Structure 1
Amino acid sequence: MSEATPQAVTRSAATGGPGLLASLDPLLREWLPRQRWFAGKGRPVTGFSLVAATELLPLDAKLGLYHLLVRAHQPLPPVQGGGVPHPGDCYQLLIGVREALPPRLAPALIGHVHEGPLAGRTVYEALYDPRPAEVILEALRAQARVGGLRFERREEIRSDLVPRLVTAEQSNSSVIYGDAFILKLLRRVLPGVNPDLELPLALAREGCPRVPPPTAWMSAEVADESYLLGVLQPFVQGATDGWELALRGLAKGEDFSAEARALGRATAEVHTALARALPTVTLAHLQVQSLVDGMTERLQAAAQAVPALRPYAPGLQSAFDALADLAAEGHTWTAQRVHGDLHLGQCLRSASGQWSLIDFEGEPAKPLAERRMAQPVARDVAGMLRSFDYAAHSAGGPPAPAWAAACRAAFCAGYAEAGGHDPRTDPVLLRAYETDKAIYEVVYEARHRPDWLPVPLSAVRRLATDTEADAGAGAGADVR
């Protein structure tokens, strides 16, 4: 990797460290919890600690740019399912500094600093500003090293690409560069190997066309630990995500089965490529019992948190018990690396009609080690089946269960065509994963969107009595 960098990123400074953070503290306490990607909503921020600070643009009369990794401290949430409380989430911040903000940057305002090294200046979310976004791309092009920041690339990157921030609500932040690339910047970051880079790189080596290959990425090295910060990938021009496409079709009363079938084929192709690229394992009795124990713990915690779930708990538990019984009889399953958080919003259909899968980060609330575990492909299939159910309840009209059932059946049929295995032929496993997903949805909706609680509860009622586990005709996806 080259040590040569463009002038904009040659200086890395110990920018006052704690003094800098102390001056930003009161502003961040107000601004950070309002961000869509802030994970600790509902709990006050009691303080911050600095993980790393890097000066990307030296502070002058016009513009400065700081890259911060900041840990936000909050009262610990109740421990559920035997989990271990986290000491505080670490967030990636790109802080722009100006004397005053021009009107075009008003939505990016964080606040005005009154003390410390930035006293008298205005700080803001730098990604709204083209120049800081250009600095990141320049660093990727140059494979720069700036303090603890590392910028790497697999291919050449043009220098004439104009950046624009994606302003739609996301759990991370994205910048599009001239319709050629899209940079996904992770906001809540963890040390370790991140599947959001690991899996697309593995798929690129396999030549899988269903996942945009990483062009470049940035990371931070802090105290012998590595944090993935962002991934640059080709931008799929004219693409529409599956969630938007499904809702659009529902609003027009259009059939979505052909798209669901094509999406099933694309998912199977990705799973097949992942199985070639990375190790697979066999799940026997003890491994499956551990899996079932985790599902049972989540059900018990959910029933305690959401009273509306309690009448269905015995029936839901029967889905997990049936899987454990099969394992006890000697049945085994193959596990491999999977997407881990698959739903319609994680799929893109290009203008030519080709489907791609994106965002391999997994469920952000889970530890990286858990996200990287081998799992049955039924985990991803169940997520997509739940997604069709959510779409059928979200189009603005009455629920459309027949539409969802047709999409589920078409998706499984398409998966069988490309993967050689119809998920519906293993109904006990698929029912267990759908049940686990629906329980997660119940807790999510009860906490964040109570008006949506009837959506997963309708699936819970079916799954609690669906001893035949007719996966093709019943179930929905990650919460949208």
Structure 2
Amino acid sequence: MGDLLDLLAVWMPRQRWYGTKGRDPRLTVVADWTLDADTRLLLVRDEAVQPAIVYQVPVARRPEGSVPPGSLIGPASDDDVWADATTDPGFTDQLYSWVTVGGEVGTPENGFLGIALASPGPRVPAPRATAKVLSGEQSNTSLIFRPATADGAEADAQDAGIPVICKLFRQVNPGINPDVELQSALAAGGAAFVPAAIGEVRGSWVTPEGVPVSGSLAFAQEFFAGVEDAWRVALDAAAADEDFAARAHALGASVAGMHVALAAQFPTREPDDADRAAVAGAWERRLSIALAEVPALAPYADRIREVYAVAAAAPWPALQRVHGDLHLGQVLDTAANGWVLLDFEGEPLRPIAERLQPDVAVRDVAGMLRSFDYVSGAVADDDGAAVRAWVIAAQQAFLAGYAETAGPDRAVDDALLAAFELDKAVYEAIYETRNRPDWVGIPLAAIGRLAPLT
């Protein structure tokens, strides 16, 4: 096992889902589940950062030269190598079976359980499927399962079964992942604005302190093939100067419907002084970081704090479960269901305990408004005024659709919305300065509008 851990310590930092870039991993084994003679599912604890992070790493031992180059972890013997099993049929076939049929490995104290969630009906998974890793993901690994024939070829018949996307959570935490919890509840309640939930995998392990815990390992849902996300749809519409008001209005209605459904299915509570102080403290911490890294923000610091102070004293809605990381890239444009919302995991860098707590629903509304604003910076157009007008019209239509569906009891307070928009723009200023300096003008322009200098 020591040799494999040494190989993983070199291989993991090169993966997009590894969260501690710039440090050498310090790995220990948390769980080691044998699936067959040559396939194992590992949980490894990385203590290079505190708090330590537990990663899920399925591995397969295969003949040298038989695995895709990007999956190669390192040598296992003179003739065999270790590979990332997410590209290996020996693992992906079992994963598909766990989420569509069910199954158990190990013991309740140190094992994992596949749970099929899909109810009988016309839209059910195929009995067998081919798997392909979805490219471009950052913090997890998703596999697309498409219906297959008995000989392993991809099935053409529409009645063979629906395609499935299964997200393998690379960072594993005790407790149910909000992506599993919220989407499963919404789908079970009949919501058309989320994909159908297919199945999940939950694991049990023991912490270094000897405490037994369990948590989410994977989540599968219906996959909508051949569709665009709302970001691409909005970009194309803005570039062509197409009226997007009706689509934005419908999107606002879908987001409001999500909030109404979540408030009905999960506990809510009125915010107290401690809640307000916690949110205001987070705003101030983010602003302090931004002022240290983005010198152009300095003239706006006092005005930003004034906006925050007004919002802290404004009426707040009841706290409830929210999406937590909503933007146009988290929405699909589907023919059958209209706008479909995805990825309820929340901001991956926030502790899981925070992501499971009731929050301010306005956070999601502000995130979507900021996402629309980014369209103006991403569209190559000489007439900036025309694109800006498109963005404003889309934002206003989105808010109108949200208000009509949410109702007067859930009216969005302007001061609170402005503060959450501003906080998001401050975060964006930090991100762009660190990663895309040419884009920092987008959040800076928004800050100028939201906190204008007198």
Could you tell me the TM-score, scaled by structure 2's length? 0.86
Q: Distance in 2 between matches of 1:425 and 1:269?
A: 14
More off after superposition, 289-298 vs 343-352: 289-298
Please state how far the C-alpha of 1:263 moved relative to its aligned partner. Answer: 0.7
Q: Distance in 2 between matches of 1:49 and 1:460?
A: 45
Q: Does 1:50 align with 2:29?
A: yes
Given candidates 158, 166, 177, the residue that maps to 2:134 is 166
Letter in 2 for 1:128: T
Please state how far the C-alpha of 1:303 moved relative to its aligned partner. Answer: 1.8
Given candidates 308, 333, 336, the residue that maps to 2:296 is 308
Give 1:454's aligned residue. Answer: 441
Given candidates 349, 357, 364, the residue that maps to 2:333 is 349
Give 1:3's aligned residue. Answer: none
Q: Distance in 2 between matches of 1:418 and 1:462?
A: 28
Please state how far the C-alpha of 1:54 moved relative to its aligned partner. Answer: 1.2
Which blocks of at least 5 consecutive residues in structure 2 are unaligned?
Answer: 147-161, 207-211
Q: Distance in 2 between matches of 1:30 and 1:389?
A: 40
CA contact (8 A) 1:175 1:183 kept: yes
Secondary structure of 1:124's aligned partner: strand
Count of equivalent residues: 422
Give 2:113's aligned residue. Answer: 150
Matches within 5 A, 1:31-46: 31-41=11-21, 43-46=22-25
Q: Distance in 1 between matches of 2:369 and 2:126?
A: 40
Given candidates 190, 198, 212, the residue that maps to 2:181 is 198
Q: Does 1:175 align with 2:143?
A: yes
Please state how far the C-alpha of 1:234 moved relative to its aligned partner. Answer: 1.2
Q: Does 1:69 align with 2:43?
A: yes
Give 1:389's aligned residue. Answer: 373
Give 1:13's aligned residue. Answer: none
Q: Does 1:256 align with 2:236?
A: no
CA contact (8 A) 1:210 1:266 kept: yes
Q: Does 1:90 align with 2:54?
A: yes
Q: State the Cα deviation string for residues 189-235 of structure 1 (Å, max 9, x = none).
A: 21123211111122133222211232210121012211211111111
Q: Distance in 2 between matches of 1:110 and 1:254?
A: 48
Secondary structure of 1:459's aligned partner: helix
Please state how far the C-alpha of 1:422 moved relative to its aligned partner. Answer: 9.8
Q: Distance in 1 between matches of 2:337 and 2:436?
A: 33
CA contact (8 A) 2:192 2:337 kept: no
Distance 1:418 1:136, change over 3 A: same
Please state how far the C-alpha of 1:124 moved relative to its aligned partner. Answer: 1.9
Given candidates 66, 70, 74, the residue that maps to 1:107 is 70
Q: Distance in 2 between matches of 1:172 and 1:280?
A: 29
Distance 1:286 1:106, change over 3 A: closer
Which blocks of at least 5 consecutive residues in structure 1 are unaligned?
Answer: 1-19, 60-64, 77-85, 468-480
CA contact (8 A) 2:362 2:412 kept: no
Given candidates 375, 396, 404, the residue that maps to 2:391 is 404
Given candidates 402, 408, 412, the residue that maps to 1:415 is 402
Q: Distance in 1 between matches of 2:11 and 2:329?
A: 27
CA contact (8 A) 2:249 2:397 kept: yes
Secondary structure of 2:94's aligned partner: helix
Q: Does 1:237 align with 2:225?
A: yes
Please state how far the C-alpha of 1:352 moved relative to its aligned partner. Answer: 4.0
More off after superposition, 268-277 vs 189-198: 189-198
Letter in 2 for 1:44: R
Q: State the Cα deviation string for residues 86-119 of structure 1 (Å, max 9, x = none).
A: 332221112122121337x223222324xxxx56
Given candidates 82, 97, 102, the residue that maps to 1:123 is 82
CA contact (8 A) 1:215 1:233 kept: yes
Q: State the Cα deviation string for residues 325-366 of structure 1 (Å, max 9, x = none).
A: 33xxxx442221111110011111113460111111000101
CA contact (8 A) 2:99 2:198 kept: no
Task: Give the alignment's Cα RMSD to 1 decimal.
Answer: 2.3
Q: State the Cα deviation string for residues 95-152 of structure 1 (Å, max 9, x = none).
A: 122121337x223222324xxxx56521222222333211211233442211212111
Please state how far the C-alpha of 1:466 moved relative to its aligned partner. Answer: 8.0
Q: State the Cα deviation string for residues 402-455 of structure 1 (Å, max 9, x = none).
A: 222111111101112222249885110101111111122122222233332222
Q: Distance in 2 between matches of 1:395 and 1:73?
A: 43
Secondary structure of 2:58's aligned partner: strand
Distance 1:237 1:367, change over 3 A: same
Distance 1:168 1:413, change over 3 A: same
- Identical aligned residues as a percent: 39
Letter in 2 for 1:165: V
Distance 1:125 1:249, change over 3 A: farther
More off after superposition, 342-351 vs 29-38: 29-38
Secondary structure of 1:91's aligned partner: strand
Q: Distance in 1 between matches of 2:75 and 2:380?
A: 42
Secondary structure of 2:318's aligned partner: strand
More off after superposition, 376-385 vs 395-404: 395-404
Q: Distance in 2 between matches of 1:447 and 1:423?
A: 36
Give 1:209's aligned residue. Answer: 192
Letter in 1 for 2:268: T
Letter in 2 for 1:39: G
CA contact (8 A) 2:316 2:416 kept: no
Q: Distance in 2 between matches of 1:218 and 1:453?
A: 40
Distance 1:463 1:411, change over 3 A: same
